[in-house]
Amino acid sequence: MKMQDEKEKPVSVRIMDSEYSVSGSVDEEYTKEIARYVDEKMRQIASKHPYPSSAKVAILAALNIADELFDEKKARSQLKEELSRRARVMAQALEQRLSTAP
């Protein structure tokens, strides 16, 4: 990611044979990596559906990417809950040991 004092400069990316100029507060390589991912998802969908409109391909790709995001959020939330549970168990065990120590 860019530092706050760095200027935002547009990054040129290619998705589904169209050129886009993207600017933001992230670095060029990160932006290109995201664009490659979106391009890959859109091409996967386009290859499975003959002659789809680009809007339909984009919407289906967005839905697939959103599904992946929601799955990751759920997994992260479950992991955080499990880590919190384990930390509580460890804290209780430590507290018990310390209270019974001579």
Domain ranges across the chain: 11-77
Q: What is the pLDDT of residue 49?
A: 84
Asked if the model's pLDDT at residue 45 lies above 50, the reply is yes
Asked if the model's pLDDT at residue 7 lies above 80, the reply is no
Other beta carbons less than 10 A from residue 26's beta carbon: 15
Task: Find the mean pLDDT for residues 81-88.
Answer: 98
Q: What is the pLDDT of residue 24?
A: 81
Asked if the model's pLDDT at residue 48 lies above 60, the reply is yes
Asked if the model's pLDDT at residue 38 lies above 70, the reply is yes
When comparing pLDDT for 51 and 98, which is higher? 98
**Parallel/antiparallel/unpaired status of strands 18-22 and 11-15:** antiparallel
Local confidence band at 50 (pLDDT 50, 70, 90 cut-offs):
confident
- In whole numbers, what is the pLDDT of the chain averaged over residues? 90
Report H helices in the chain. 28-48, 54-100
